[in-house]
């Protein structure tokens, strides 16, 4: 039996190519429409971190292995973050464009568009052309994908790279061309370095390998050993980098390692079980913006309905019909050990958005087949077209409502406070900041000043002040002794101090001079001091 695996990209003049270009253009419109927004939206804290590291690459050291933040006081703030793909590219572009929010957002958006194209190529190889175009269209319109891929985050690059890695693996499995296996390994390493949740697709990779090679009667020990060697070689740089990141986070202020502190072994199974394993926040995130109810329904239908994208009687090439089911399965072990981290930083769920888009496309095609089957054959094409169009419109409308909510400038007071602090302070002044949400560095970023968040890490919970005001006073006096010159806080934090921490507020007012007051924020000039015994 002879197999044909080329599955080439359609010519530019073909209707399929025109549709694909239209899908990519639609995705670009949604992703580039708001890229000039300051980092004030729902994911502002991580955007500010990435922008801060990009600025420090640009103005300081270009060594990508030393990502640096500005909330470590006067010392170098090397932090244990993931490999800085997006922020480093943004820093390189700053030399041409200058430092602007739209640069980092554009890098993420371009990765997102590539991810849509890679998903199209992947689906057409494991399913068919029709579902490939529809999967790409849903990915272009999916609210969670749009919002994350127009944000200055690592996740768009990670998802695009891992989707490409999967595509290259499928090409290798279908063609036996070694270069595609090597490409899959190299791109996959880059993706996991960019963010560890990329490992989620390992389950789908294993499934595809066993399924396609078994169908082709090429599940031989020699081939399995070769792929195993590539996989092990791919893990070596990943393990080495994250050991290095842990070393950085433990060796330098502010003693921060990303993706730690909120894992199962950090807090214990009993605590998580008492909080219902965070199912409430999980449902809220997915229903409010990551997918929205229409997409949730389609994903469930795509999981449960008989798979129509795979006809064993008519196939002419090796397929992987359950690939995206296994892609979703991969999130389960990650959720078991990192549920709290995932619900605190829901952009990490972006890794399963390609699977959601693909399964939704299969569900829509099943629905169209059902309706087409109950009308006369001459009208079936019209019915199918209308069902697809209505489905995409529903996804777009519900998604737009979610996007308006997520793009709302929640941190606008922090942004304005940062600008005001920049005006009153000098470049070498050290600042202490209390944003609307403690531990968020947006005030530091827009002030362009080094300093500390308050309470400063390492503390057990940087998002809340200690119950004992005397402990907070000791921490603040230590920062005064280290040269802190300015204290800046939003009005909501001042009100909370007055209500819940009157001793700390009184100490602030005794050791600082109110320099500027605004209905939205307060800026104090700090009197020099020495730490208390």
Mean pLDDT of 5-15: 59
Quote the tokens at residue 183.
Answer: 């490409």
Per-residue pLDDT band for 209 (boundaries 50, 70, 90) equals very high
pLDDT at residue number 317 = 53
Of 53 and 313, the one with more pLDDT? 53
- The answer to whether 292 and 143 have CB atoms below 8 angstroms apart is yes
Per-residue pLDDT band for 378 (boundaries 50, 70, 90) equals low
Q: Buried (b) or exposed (e) across 297-332, using 16+ Cβ within 10 A?
A: ebbebbbebebbbbeeeeeebbbbbbbbbbbbbbbe
The strand order across the sheet containing 451-453 reads 451-453, 430-434, 484-490, 521-526, 512-518
Measured at the alpha carbon of residue 86, what is the angle toward residues 84 and 88, in degrees to the nearest 5? 60
CB within 8 Å of 66: residues ≥ 6 apart: 78, 248
Is the pLDDT score of 1 beyond 60?
no
Of 362, 355, 359, nearest to 203 by C-alpha is: 355
Quote the tokens at residue 278.
Answer: 């965070």
- For the chain, percent of residues with pLDDT exceeding 70: 93
Mean pLDDT of 416-429: 97
Tell me which DSSP letter residue 275 carries: T
| Residues constituting the chain | 533
Is the pLDDT score of 5 beyond 50?
no
d(CA 183, CA 18): 28
pLDDT at residue number 267 = 86
3-state SS track over 184-234:
HHHHHHHHHHHCHHHHHHHHHHHHHHHHHHHHCCCCCHHHHHHHHHHHHHH
Unique residue bearing structure tokens 């690939």: 323
pLDDT in tens, 150-170: 999 999 999 999 999 999 999
pLDDT at residue number 107 = 98
pLDDT at residue number 11 = 57
Mean pLDDT of 419-430: 97
pLDDT at residue number 305 = 83
Q: Buried (b) or exposed (e) across 131-158, using 16+ Cβ within 10 A?
A: bbbbbbbbbbbbbbbbbbbbbbbbbbbb
d(CA 285, CA 291): 8
Is the pLDDT score of 8 beyond 80?
no
CA dihedral 164, 168, 169, 170 (to 10 degrees): 100
Mean pLDDT of 308-318: 51
Which helix (H) or strand (E) is 370 found in, with range?
Answer: helix 353-373
Of 42, 184, 136, 105, nearest to 388 by C-alpha is: 136
pLDDT at residue number 384 = 85
Is the pLDDT score of 400 beyond 70?
yes
Unique residue bearing structure tokens 């077209």: 385
Q: Which of 299-308, 474-483, 504-513 has the lowest mean pLDDT?
A: 299-308
| Sequence-ordered alpha helix ranges (H) in 221-322 | 221-251, 264-267, 269-274, 279-285, 293-304
pLDDT at residue number 493 = 96
d(CA 94, CA 112): 20
Rg (CA), the chain: 25
Of 28 and 9, the one with more pLDDT? 28
pLDDT at residue number 159 = 98
Unique residue bearing structure tokens 């063609």: 175
Tell me which DSSP letter residue 524 carries: E
Nearest-10 crossing angle of helices 101-126, 353-373: 50
pLDDT in tens, 428-467: 999 999 999 998 999 999 999 999 999 987 766 677 899 9
Of 103, 83, 79, nearest to 91 by C-alpha is: 103
pTM of the model: 0.93
Q: Buried (b) or exposed (e) across 395-430, using 16+ Cβ within 10 A?
A: bbebbeebbeebbebbbbbbbbbbebbbeebeeebb
pLDDT in tens, 316-374: 456 889 999 999 999 999 999 999 999 999 999 999 999 999 999 999 999 998 887 77
Quote the tokens at residue 122.
Answer: 């992947």
Q: Which of 211-225, 400-414, 486-500 has the lowest mean pLDDT?
A: 211-225
Quote the tokens at residue 129.
Answer: 């052309």
pLDDT in tens, 278-309: 999 999 999 999 999 999 999 999 999 866 55
pLDDT at residue number 217 = 85
Is the pLDDT score of 253 beyond 50?
yes
- The answer to whether 494 and 519 have CB atoms below 8 angstroms apart is no
**Secondary structure (DSSP) of 81-122:** PPP-HHHHHHHHHHHHH-S-HHHHHHHHHHHHHHHHHHHHHH
């Amino acid at each position: 039996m002879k197999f044909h695996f080329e599955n080439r990209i359609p010519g530019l003049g073909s209707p399929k190519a025109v549709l694909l270009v239209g899908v990519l253009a639609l995705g670009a419109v949604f992703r580039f429409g708001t890229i000039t927004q300051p980092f004030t939206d729902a994911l502002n804290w991580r955007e500010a971190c990435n922008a801060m590291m990009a600025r420090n690459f640009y103005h300081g050291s270009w060594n990508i292995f030393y990502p640096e933040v500005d909330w470590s006081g006067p010392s170098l703030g090397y932090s244990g973050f993931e490999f800085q793909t997006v922020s480093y590219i943004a820093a390189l572009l700053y030399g041409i464009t200058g430092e602007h929010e739209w640069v980092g957002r554009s890098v993420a958006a371009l990765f997102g568009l590539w991810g849509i194209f890679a998903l199209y190529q992947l689906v057409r190889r494991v399913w068919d052309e029709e579902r490939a175009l529809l999967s790409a269209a849903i990915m272009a319109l999916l609210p969670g994908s749009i919002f994350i891929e127009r944000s200055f985050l690592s996740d768009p690059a990670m998802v695009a790279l891992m989707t490409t890695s999967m595509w290259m693996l499928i090409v290798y499995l279908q063609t036996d061309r070694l270069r595609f296996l090597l490409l899959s390994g190299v791109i996959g390493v880059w993706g996991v370095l960019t963010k560890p949740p990329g490992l989620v697709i390992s389950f789908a990779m294993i499934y595809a390998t066993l399924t396609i090679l078994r169908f082709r009667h090429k599940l031989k020990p020699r081939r399995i050993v070769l792929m195993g060697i590539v996989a092990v070689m791919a893990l070596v740089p990943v393990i080495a980098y994250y050991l290095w990141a842990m070393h950085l986070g433990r060796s330098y202020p502010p003693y921060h390692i990303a993706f730690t502190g909120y894992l199962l072994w950090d807090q214990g199974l009993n605590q998580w079980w008492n909080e219902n394993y965070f199912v409430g926040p999980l449902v809220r995130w997915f229903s409010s913006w990551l997918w929205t109810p229409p997409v949730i329904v389609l994903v469930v239908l795509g999981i449960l309905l008989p798979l129509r994208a795979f006809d064993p009687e008519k196939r002419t090439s090796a397929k992987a019909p359950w690939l995206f089911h296994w892609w979703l399965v991969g999130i389960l072990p990650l959720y078991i050990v990192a549920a709290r981290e995932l619900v605190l930083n829901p952009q990490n769920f972006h890794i399963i958005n390609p699977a959601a888009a693909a399964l939704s496309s299969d569900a829509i095609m099943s629905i169209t087949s059902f309706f087409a089957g109950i009308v006369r054959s001459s009208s079936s094409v019209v019915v199918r077209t209308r069902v697809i169009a209505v489905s995409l419109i529903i996804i777009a409308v519900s998604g737009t409502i979610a996007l308006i909510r997520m793009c709302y400038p929640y941190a606008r007071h922090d942004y304005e406070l940062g600008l005001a602090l920049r005006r009153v302070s000098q470049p070498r002044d050290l600042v202490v900041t209390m944003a609307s949400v403690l531990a968020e560095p947006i005030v530091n970023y827009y002030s362009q000043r080094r300093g500390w968040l308050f309470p400063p890490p390492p503390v057990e919970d940087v998002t809340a002040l200690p119950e004992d005001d005397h402990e907070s006073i000791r921490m603040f006096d230590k920062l005064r002794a280290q040269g802190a010159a300015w204290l800046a806080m939003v009005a909501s934090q001042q009100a909370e101090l007055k209500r819940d921490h009157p001793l700390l507020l009184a100490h602030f007012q005794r050791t600082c001079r109110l320099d500027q007051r605004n209905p939205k924020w307060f800026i104090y000039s700090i009197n020099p001091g020495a730490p208390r015994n």
